Amino acid sequence: MIHHAVSRGLQSLAVLLIMSFVVYGLMGLMPGDPIDLMIAGDPHLTAADALRLKALYGLDKHWTERYLRWLAQLAQGELGYSRLYARPVLDALLPALGNTALLMAAALALALLVAVPLGILASLRPGSAFDHGINLLAFASVSLPTFWLGLMLMVVFAVQLGWLPASGMSDVSGGGGVLDRLRHMALPVATLALAGMGQYIRHMRAAMVGEAHHDYVRTARAKGCSPARIVLRHQLRNALIPVATILALEVGGLFSGALITETVFAWPGMGRLIFEAVMGNDFNLALVGLLLATAMTLLGSILADMAYAALDRRVNFR
């Protein structure tokens, strides 16, 4: 088990290294050049100044050489400076991480609160009209484009009814504490939860239906267990194993998964930060943000493996 985790960890490091190299190369292919931007911003700069600036920032070197230097700095914990936010990369990233975690934790909790009971109910009578209805609902949920759902919720609850704020994290007036934060969270959390619950419903239902055929269920029924107890105490415990695995996978993706919702609602989280950094030529921030998001996703998939092995005694990694 430990051996397995270590080898997965090393593989993930390799993936991260390759990813950083590829993304670094791609950044150089994006429109706009930091020095060009400086020249555009300051008419007094001459061509000679531009060359000197390029030499100063090392931009006269080939990009592979610059990549190696960047990597060496990263190894020393030097993440660089964000041009867009005018502060060290870490200072720009950390608040965004917190904001995303808040948004995603609330959305995940809400999605599970709806999905787990619905999945269990649908599994009780496979093939019934109720099951078909829930199935259709789950398909509708996974088919929802989040940017449209967010926009429609905004149209109804912010534009037409005026009940909730359309965007941001707090009011301009400085915010009214917890209630103000909750009001700003309502629409993005609802968007993410509505679009996310479908897959949990499907996984929950499939896992419950799968468990229903096992011998232990028949045994429990034979010894006179009540149906509710069989479902909730026996089946549910085992059915939660695959669902927990999916959850661990999701947790990794959470840090970049809300990119669209965060952009629509102007929520200052990781997804929006990465998007703006890429679009705004803020290479340092974009690179570190992307690598962090990738690292989280990889960590999530390792966690999913470990959770599966820890929860299900039948699995072992030799």
SS (H, E, C) the chain: CHHHHHHHHHHHHHHHHHHHHHHHHHHCCCCCCHHHHHHHHCCCCCHHHHHHHHHHHCCCCCHHHHHHHHHHHHHCCCCCEECCCCEEHHHHHHHHHHHHHHHHHHHHHHHHHHHHHHHHHHHHCCCCHHHHHHHHHHHHHHHCCHHHHHHHHHHHHHHHCCCCCCCCCCCCCCCCCHHHHHHHHHHHHHHHHHHHHHHHHHHHHHHHHHHHCCHHHHHHHHCCCCHHHHHHHHHHHHHHHHHHHHHHHHHHHHHHHCHHHHHHCCCCCHHHHHHHHHHCCCHHHHHHHHHHHHHHHHHHHHHHHHHHHHHCCCCCCC
Question: Near other proteins by CB under 8 A, which window of 17-25, 51-59, 170-178, 186-194?
Answer: 17-25
Does residue 275 interact with other proteins by CB under 8 A?
yes
For residues 238 and 301, which CB has a smaller minimum distance to other proteins in the complex? 301
Does residue 151 interact with other proteins by CB under 8 A?
yes
For residues 2 and 29, which CB has a smaller minimum distance to other proteins in the complex? 29
Task: Considering only residues 90 through 149, tell me which ones interact with other proteins, judged by CB under 8 A.
Answer: 126-127, 131-132, 135-136, 139-140, 142-149
Does residue 180 interact with other proteins by CB under 8 A?
no
For residues 235 and 281, which CB has a smaller minimum distance to other proteins in the complex? 281
> C-beta of 183: minimal distance to other proteins in Å?
19
Binding footprint of other proteins on the chain (CB under 8 A): 11-12, 14-15, 18-19, 23, 26-31, 126-127, 131-132, 135-136, 139-140, 142-149, 151-152, 154-155, 159-160, 253, 255-257, 259-260, 263-264, 271, 274-275, 278-279, 286, 289-290, 293-294, 296-298, 301
